[in-house]
Structure 1
Amino acid sequence: MPTIKKINYSIINKDKSIDSAIFYLDINDDQNKQMYLIHRALKQQLTNYRTRNAHTKTRSEVRGGGKKPWKQKGTGRARAGSTRSPLWKGGGVIFGPRRKKYKSKLNKKEKKLAINTVLYNKFGNTIVTNEILIQPDKPSTKQAIAEISRLGIDVKDQKKILLIIDKKTNLLHLSFRNLNNVQLIEVKSINILSLLKADIILVTKSALDKINRENN
């Protein structure tokens, strides 16, 4: 059965002072169930990313072949209605591979429990800040690096950083997009793959509040 876990996060302010706030996450107590839910959520996400691009044409899709090659009777040859028959060279393909988008389903409650479980287990690698500030005049990767460094994170370490914010702006997107080891996502886009890949989770207080509201 799901239970509510209390987490006491330390929040880093702009002036580097530290506040604390208590948040609640709804997770499953059973460790085996936790691993099962995380596995299912990850498998579902990877399946939905999967596509099959190999695509052959059937006889109706191959261009041409509208004219009957020869008359029905009297030639001594087998009957033929189209040069695009699968029996002919240049014709369609029978039972060939077709383009396909794979789809897998996962219940919303299961997905939420899986995400909450990863957030709870990665508490030690999570840094909370009041806000991420970039000057409003123009995008700046230099300012983005400085903002991350302010929180005690060295971008040059090449650790994978997941930055979760309440609402993504074009300014933030352009400022962080050149940092290969930093992924910027909104709360509504939180996914199990990004959480598992991240070495450090950097989240704003407003984003954490939104996660907390969705769990209550």
Structure 2
Amino acid sequence: MTTDIQIQYDVLSKEGLASHLKLINLRISESKSMYIVHRALVEQLHKKRQGNANCKTRSEVRGGGRKPWKQKGTGRARAGSIRSPLWKGGGVIFGPKTKEYTKKLNKKEKQLAIRNILYNKRKQTVIVNDSYFQSNQPNTKLILKNINDLKINQSEKILIILPKKDVNIYLSTRNLKNVELIQANQINLISIIRSKHLVITEKALDIIQKVYNE
């Protein structure tokens, strides 16, 4: 069962001061909050697995059609094929085979999981003006100053959510190991969970409410 929750944020200006209020409505599940988040997290982790480890069995190894030597009279152990797992270059017993790791998750379940985790992280979320990080050219020092103005510890993981790609902001933050950029319509659970602080622009917040609040 879902519940409509309204969250009120202070929108911070360039100086890190509250300029006005911003409201967001989220439809969350209070009874199965962590259950649905766990399901969505497992599904995303499954997608990251390659599953391309593969060993050949004795039926797949090339050669070995002829018996290496006769059955009796040589003094050596019996051998029927050079493809035997006992031989060097032979097949592998119980080795890994190519596998596709998939987990079924409905679109609405994934959206609900993202809404739940955003609600749980509301106290670590900061909403800033759309022009807060904008710059005419790449400037890492400016980004660090903006983060300091928000009273955020730079040694902790920070996720900045933007409405769309911005080359200057990307070039300004790519050398900052604790800062991650992401578009509002492409957010994922792993990025949100491992981040200590969420910094979201006003337009990005509107996109989140529109895309994930169906």
Is the 2:50–2:100 contact (alpha carbons within 8 Å) kept by the matching residues of 1?
A: yes
Deviations 1:43-89 (A, max 9, x none): 22223323446431234654x52774669xxx556895x63354643
Corresponding residue of 2:210: 213
2:25 paired with 1:29: no
In structure 2, relative to structure 1, the CA distance for the partners of 1:67 and 1:28 (3 Å cut) is closer
Within 5 Å, which residues of 2 pair with 1:63-78?
A: 65=63, 68=66, 75=70
Corresponding residue of 1:167: 164
Tell me the TM-score normalized by structure 2. 0.81
3-state SS of paired residue (2:103):
coil
Deviations 1:105-133 (A, max 9, x none): 21111111111111112211110012243
Within 5 Å, which residues of 2 pair with 1:140-159?
A: 140-155=139-154, 158-159=155-156
Is the 2:135–2:169 contact (alpha carbons within 8 Å) kept by the matching residues of 1?
A: no
Tell me the TM-score normalized by structure 1. 0.81
Corresponding residue of 1:121: 120
3-state SS of paired residue (1:100):
coil
Q: CA RMSD in A?
A: 2.7
Within 5 Å, which residues of 2 pair with 1:73-84?
A: 75=70, 83-84=82-83
Shift of 1:135: 2.7
Alpha-carbon distance in structure 2 between the residues aligned to 1:181 and 1:79: 59
In structure 2, relative to structure 1, the CA distance for the partners of 1:60 and 1:175 (3 Å cut) is farther
Alpha-carbon distance in structure 2 between the residues aligned to 1:174 and 1:57: 45
Is the 1:134–1:144 contact (alpha carbons within 8 Å) kept by the matching residues of 2?
A: no
Q: Which is worse superposed, 102-111 or 145-154?
A: 145-154
Q: Which is worse superposed, 33-42 or 83-92?
A: 83-92
Corresponding residue of 2:45: 46
Is the 1:53–1:98 contact (alpha carbons within 8 Å) kept by the matching residues of 2?
A: yes
In structure 2, relative to structure 1, the CA distance for the partners of 1:92 and 1:76 (3 Å cut) is closer
Shift of 1:177: 1.8
Alpha-carbon distance in structure 2 between the residues aligned to 1:13 and 1:136: 18
In structure 1, list runs of 5 or more residues that go unmatched: none
Is the 2:67–2:79 contact (alpha carbons within 8 Å) kept by the matching residues of 1?
A: no
Alpha-carbon distance in structure 2 between the residues aligned to 1:70 and 1:29: 68
Tell me the amino acid that sits aligned with residue 11 of structure 2: I
3-state SS of paired residue (2:175):
coil
Is the 1:134–1:140 contact (alpha carbons within 8 Å) kept by the matching residues of 2?
A: no
Alpha-carbon distance in structure 2 between the residues aligned to 1:110 and 1:204: 25
In structure 2, relative to structure 1, the CA distance for the partners of 1:100 and 1:171 (3 Å cut) is farther
Alpha-carbon distance in structure 2 between the residues aligned to 1:184 and 1:145: 14
Is the 1:38–1:114 contact (alpha carbons within 8 Å) kept by the matching residues of 2?
A: yes
3-state SS of paired residue (2:181):
strand
Corresponding residue of 1:13: 13
In structure 2, list runs of 5 or more residues that go unmatched: 73-77
Q: Which is worse superposed, 195-204 or 13-22?
A: 13-22
Alpha-carbon distance in structure 2 between the residues aligned to 1:76 and 1:196: 64
Query: Aligned residue pairs: how many?
Result: 206
3-state SS of paired residue (2:210):
helix
